[in-house]
Amino acid sequence: MKRTLTFGKEQHEVELLRQDGALTLVWEGEAHPIDIREVEPGCYSILMDGRSVEVLLDPAKSPDPDAHAFRVMVYDGVYEFALADPRRALLAGGGAGSGAGGTLASPMPGKVVKVLVAAGEAVQEGQTLLILEAMKMQNEYKSPSAGTVAKLYVQEGSTVETASPMVELAAPEAN
């Protein structure tokens, strides 16, 4: 999945690809083979282009509630950047708390492991709707706003492609 990294006012397009068991980081269109290991919770060692980089996840430092803040320590210093969660933007027609409803689409190819809601069910903001397995990781997809499940496009065991609709939400009815 392509993501945008923000360093101050600069933005860079990045993508992490897994192919035949190997990881590749595509940075501004240039591919770099990498190896990532979690050395302790929230701390990762990354080997890329013959260099070792330590990355610390620091969610408390992010000014954007939909982003993760990171500190990267390399030989010449410490750098901070934010990585926005693109899944929040996949609900067309509104963001978290907007009550606008919309369609939750898959951000990447994967397999639906568990569907936790049914058509017609009322859901709350932040409620887990389904679990999608992609790149050997299980990801929870949560409702970005309160509403009602208008339609389920998937079922357990379904495979989805990037941008495939998974759940359609209707805005809650006004009283």
Task: Quickly list DSSP for 63-115.
Answer: SSTTEEEEEEEETTEEEEEEEE-GGGGGBTT--TT----EEEE-SS-EEEEEE
Residue 175 lies in a domain: no
Pairing of the two strands 22-27 and 30-40: antiparallel
124 belongs to a structural domain = yes
Same domain? 74 vs 23? yes
Q: Which residue is associated with the tokens 């060692």?
A: 45
Domain co-membership, 80 together with 134: no
pLDDT at position 91? 45
d(C-alpha 169, C-alpha 121), whole Å: 10
Q: How many domains does the chain have?
A: 2
Q: Which of 63, 84, 105 is the last residue of a domain?
A: 84
Classify residue 132 as exposed, middle or buried by CB count within 10 Å of its CB (0-12, 13-18, 19+): buried
Q: Could you report the per-residue pLDDT of 50-109, keeping only the tens digit for each?
A: 888 887 766 555 555 555 666 666 666 777 777 665 555 454 333 333 445 688 888 788
What does the pLDDT average to over 7-36?
Answer: 83
Query: Quick one: 76 and 109 in the same domain?
Result: no
Same domain, 67 and 109: no
Domain residue limits at 52: 2-84
Q: Are 97 and 61 part of one and the same domain?
A: no
Q: Which domain-ending residue is among 84, 111, 136?
A: 84
Q: Both tokens of residue 130?
A: 């389904």
**pLDDT-derived band at 153, boundaries 50, 70, 90:** very high
By C-alpha distance, which of 83, 65, 71 is closest to 11?
Answer: 83
Specify whether 101 is located in the same domain as 54: no
Q: Which of 23, 27, 46, 49 is nearest to 36 (CA)?
A: 46
The C-alpha angle with vertex 38 and arms to 74 and 87, in degrees rounded to 5, equals 95
User: Within 13 Å, how many C-alpha atoms sit on residue 124's CB side?
Assistant: 2
Q: Any idea what the CATH number is for the domain that residue 165 is in? A: 2.40.50.100
Which pLDDT value is given to residue 42? 76
The answer on 100 and 164 residing in a single domain is: yes
Same domain, 62 and 126: no
Q: Looking at the structure, do residues 9 and 69 belong to the same domain, yes or no?
A: yes
Query: Which domain CATH number covers 62?
Result: 2.40.128
pTM over 0.75: no
Q: What is the 8-class DSSP label of residue 117?
A: -
Same structural domain for residues 46 and 113? no
pLDDT band of 116, cuts 50, 70, 90: very high
172 or 125: whose pLDDT is higher? 125
Does residue 3 register a pLDDT over 50? yes
Same-domain pairing of 76 and 121 = no
